[in-house]
Structure 1
Amino acid sequence: IPTEMGASLSELEQQHQHPLGASLSELEQQHQHSQSQPKKKHHQPKEPPIKTKVKLRLSSTGKNLLLSPQQNIEPSRKVVQKGPAVKAKYETQSAQLSFPHIFERILRDADSPVDRSSKEKLFDQLHGGVYLHDKTKMYWVDKKTNANCFVLFPRALSITWAENPIYWKWIERNNEGLPEVVELKKDCWLEVHGKFDTRMLSPGILYEVLFYVKMKDPVQGWELPINVRLVLPGGKKQQGKVSLMEMLRGRWMEVPVGEFVACEKDGGEMEISLFEYDGGIYSYVGFVSGGIVIKPKE
């Protein structure tokens, strides 16, 4: 049907085609189709949450403890242990405060009275150390194993020519925790012996025996290794050699002699020795003895 302008409907459709080539009817269909489709929502990506860490300082150890907020632990909140954990904690504390082996008999030889007004005060002194026999020995209890430990200071040892000032010099060392040490001035004969009753030790504990020594400059005559020996009750021997020339100067060092498991049934007197007199031509200088240490092996 012709229009007033003289153009047919088909001609108008051709004149109003979409620039991309789509007719009006096609555009209407596309518009209706787009309205029928649900609109997609465009979400902007969220930034990942920032994970922070709470920094706690442990006043007792000075170490830092890093906790993640996911653990749901607040710095100011106390974590309360319940059930078996509490029981185990108290059992551990009780074990630490159980009385050590024959400690009453050992304390009879203490140089000064021991405070027994409370269990805590008693153990504070046992852990810190108690002098015995006019400061010739010291007794203490190891915190970890609750085992008896001892030091035999030089006055409790047998040292060849130790009372001769030409060869040996006795020195007070209260500032080092040692009542007295002995220094070898010059000698070609080194012989140190100690004796100890193993029945004073805690049964079932693996012990190590060590000489507590220091090498002091000028160090001379120690080209040959020295001998160390441990003779246990019953006659069993442990013997070896140690080079003192390899030790650091001016520091107290532990020279291992031997080790054994304490047994009350087979206990008795053991002998600990450090000696060297086979060289003959050497003149030893610079050796300082702090005594013998008997403690649980770490």
Structure 2
Amino acid sequence: MSDVFPEECISETISFTCARDACRFSVVSTVFKSAADSDAVWEKFLPSDYREIISGSASPLLLTTNVSKKDLYLHLCHNPIIINNGTMSFAIEKESGKKCYMVGVRGLSFSCGDSQCWKWSSLQESRFCKVAELNYVWWLDVKGKIDTKILSPKTNYGAYLVFKLTESTSGFRTRPVKLGVYLEGIDNGERRNVYLDPPRNTPKLSQKRGDGWMEIEMGEFFNENGDNGMLICSVFYFKGLHTKRGLIVEGIELRPKDGK
């Protein structure tokens, strides 16, 4: 095929596939490798507004350095960049190239946000400059908001609480918290009760991430066209006078679920 069609035609054809297929094509022959690795192909795999996102980030030099579009794509898969004045991070999902966002603690709302309830500190393993550690609360209410217009359209997103538990944690083993994902003003979204520190013989719903944090799925949301307004992701507990402590929150992440 490479002897029949010019490289530009091969590149154009590959650009209608996906990043995974482009990598497979690159091992067919030297001509295919050149076509599959071209900027013309990988520009199509990047989000259409990637330049705007990067230019307003803490890493604008990614647009000015002599880096190929393939290398930029792979960089954004493995190295989230900080945006919105440090309140969010942005990355792309490796298989699909769709957008992933995490709302850090500076972008979350804490109904009990004073120094007695939460302590703001820095952790080396966090992508953000600050995380929030729970000193103690009687009730818990943490919310994150994200505008659906910045999410990838026609995409099923999962929302995940990214957290850790300290050695002195208490109140999360005997009492579940309620997680919710719903549209602002249309409070009919999904709700689930989960144990962040599950008791013995209770299924563990959280899992360890590659970055050393834990995550637990809060719910999911299908973003049709990005015109549904604000998506709310919440963690709350209001039942009884049971103190909770020792929860460290890095943020709430939204990413395509199962690459869809």
- TM-score between the two structures when normalised by the length of structure 1: 0.63
Amino acid at match of 1:100: P
Cα 1:186–1:233 change in 2 (3 A) is: closer
Q: Do structure 1's residue 168 and structure 2's residue 115 form an aligned pair?
A: no
Counterpart of 2:50 in structure 1 is 103
Amino acid at match of 1:182: A
Across the aligned residues of Structure 1 and Structure 2, the Cα RMSD in angstroms comes to 3.0
Question: What SS class does the counterpart of residue 219 from structure 2 fall into?
Answer: strand
Question: What SS class does the counterpart of residue 199 from structure 1 fall into?
Answer: helix
Counterpart of 1:237 in structure 2 is 189
Is the 1:96–1:143 contact (alpha carbons within 8 Å) kept by the matching residues of 2? no
Amino acid at match of 2:233: I
Aligned partners of 2:155 and 2:41: how far apart in 1?
A: 15
Aligned partners of 2:224 and 2:61: how far apart in 1?
A: 27
Amino acid at match of 1:90: A
Aligned partners of 1:125 and 1:293: how far apart in 2?
A: 18
Aligned partners of 2:156 and 2:207: how far apart in 1?
A: 30
Aligned partners of 2:129 and 2:239: how far apart in 1?
A: 32
- Among residues 114, 123, 127, which one is paired with 1:177 in the alignment? 127
Counterpart of 2:256 in structure 1 is 296
Is the 1:233–1:266 contact (alpha carbons within 8 Å) kept by the matching residues of 2? no
Aligned partners of 2:100 and 2:141: how far apart in 1?
A: 24
Counterpart of 2:155 in structure 1 is 205
Aligned partners of 2:41 and 2:139: how far apart in 1?
A: 47
Question: What SS class does the counterpart of residue 245 from structure 1 fall into?
Answer: coil
Aligned partners of 1:213 and 1:132: how far apart in 2?
A: 20
Q: 1:145-179: per-residue Cα shift (whole Å, max 9, x none)?
A: 101110100110001222x2222111112344332
Aligned partners of 1:113 and 1:105: how far apart in 2?
A: 10
Same amino acid, percent of matched pairs: 25
1:262 shift after superposition: 1.9
Aligned partners of 2:122 and 2:36: how far apart in 1?
A: 43
Unaligned runs of 5+ in 2: 1-26, 199-203
Is the 1:174–1:180 contact (alpha carbons within 8 Å) kept by the matching residues of 2? no
Is the 1:228–1:274 contact (alpha carbons within 8 Å) kept by the matching residues of 2? yes
Question: What SS class does the counterpart of residue 86 from structure 2 fall into?
Answer: coil
Aligned partners of 2:28 and 2:125: how far apart in 1?
A: 44
Q: 1:27-82: per-residue Cα shift (whole Å, max 9, x none)?
A: xxxxxxxxxxxxxxxxxxxxxxxxxxxxxxxxxxxxxxxxxxxxxxxxxxxxx846
Q: Do structure 1's residue 256 and structure 2's residue 217 form an aligned pair?
A: yes
Aligned partners of 1:106 and 1:234: how far apart in 2?
A: 28
Is the 1:101–1:201 contact (alpha carbons within 8 Å) kept by the matching residues of 2? no
Is the 1:213–1:288 contact (alpha carbons within 8 Å) kept by the matching residues of 2? yes
The residue correspondences of 1:1-298 to structure 2 (distance < 5 A) are 81=28, 86=32, 90=36, 96-98=42-44, 99-117=46-64, 118-120=67-69, 122-127=72-77, 128-162=79-113, 164-222=114-172, 223-232=174-183, 235=186, 236-246=188-198, 252-264=213-225, 266-279=227-240, 281-298=241-258
Greater CA drift, 176-185 or 205-214: 176-185
Is the 1:168–1:184 contact (alpha carbons within 8 Å) kept by the matching residues of 2? yes
Cα 1:233–1:276 change in 2 (3 A) is: closer
Aligned partners of 2:103 and 2:250: how far apart in 1?
A: 9
Amino acid at match of 2:58: D
1:218 shift after superposition: 1.6
Q: Relative contact order, CA 8 A, sep 6+: which one is greater?
A: 2
Question: What SS class does the counterpart of residue 104 from structure 1 fall into?
Answer: helix
1:132 shift after superposition: 0.9
Is the 1:221–1:284 contact (alpha carbons within 8 Å) kept by the matching residues of 2? yes
Q: 1:175-212: per-residue Cα shift (whole Å, max 9, x none)?
A: 44332111111111211011101111111222101111
- TM-score between the two structures when normalised by the length of structure 2: 0.72
Aligned partners of 1:263 and 1:119: how far apart in 2?
A: 31
The total of aligned residue pairs comes to: 215
Unaligned runs of 5+ in 1: 1-79
Aligned partners of 1:189 and 1:198: how far apart in 2?
A: 29
Amino acid at match of 1:268: G
